[in-house]
Amino acid sequence: MPLKISLILAHPNPASFNHAIAGTALQTLQYHGHQVYWHDLYSERFDPLLPRGELDRGAPLPEFLQDHCREVSQADGLVVVHPNWWGQPPAILKGWIDRVLRPGVAYQFLDGDDGEGVPRGLLRAQAAIVFNTSNTPRPRELTVFGDPLETIWKNCIFGLCGVNNVFRKNFEVIVTSTPALREGWLREVQEILGRYFPG
């Protein structure tokens, strides 16, 4: 059954492995017959700054931002591709989260809750997949840093927006990876997407 999938890429270098992951994801999703809302945030020059005028629920939004909000709210699945920078997504992606996963689109607080409680998620996506890259070996990521991206995406973002089926795959170490290893990783991307979003 064809699905609507939102695919978001956040990496400034078109020759990066992140772009290779996103390209493979796009081809795989289209191969399975899905409709893909595809956004390369850097090539689109997405403005990550959240202005004061957009803070309130129901605030008027620029047309391009309305499109992003509509797509993410209609998506049956979400795929995000980005590098691990300082244990966080790149600033442009954080700005996309701030501006697009907004009240009334991705979550809402219950009546009588002024914002101190746990919101109700509004996203309809049945699953979210996050593909990350890093130059930190897995044992160090776990023992020294505690893998903050796992918590950010599963608990702080998608979990609060109503998407509880979240899978994150980190590919490391990019800087020393061989072409053969990268080819294997891209096959893994295909397998993961085919498993979560079959045709």
In whole angstroms, how far apart are CA 138 and each of 18, 45, 78, 189? Answer: 18, 32, 25, 18
Tell me 85's DSSP state. Answer: B
- What are the backbone dihedrals phi and psi of residue 64, each rounded to the nearest 5 degrees, phi first? -65, -35
**pLDDT for 101:** 98
pLDDT category of residue 115 using cuts at 50, 70 and 90: low
pLDDT digits (tens, 9 = 90+) for 64-100: 999 999 999 999 999 999 999 998 999 999 999 999 9
Q: State mean pLDDT over 143-162.
A: 89
- Among residues 135, 132, 133, 131, which one has the least CA distance to residue 176? 135
Say whether pLDDT at 102 is over 70.
yes
**pLDDT for 14:** 97
Dihedral class, residue 46 (left if φ above 0, else alpha if ψ from -120 to 50, else beta):
beta
**Contact call for residues 90 and 82 (beta carbons, < 8 A):** yes
Say whether pLDDT at 188 is over 90.
yes
CATH code at position 114: 3.40.50.360
**pLDDT for 110:** 78
* Whole-structure pTM value: 0.93
Count of domains forming the chain:
1
* Residue-range definition of the domain harbouring residue 123: 4-196
Indicate the residue type of 128.
A
pLDDT digits (tens, 9 = 90+) for 116-144: 677 899 999 999 999 999 987 676 766 76
pLDDT digits (tens, 9 = 90+) for 12-66: 999 999 999 999 999 999 999 999 999 999 999 999 999 999 998 889 999 999 9
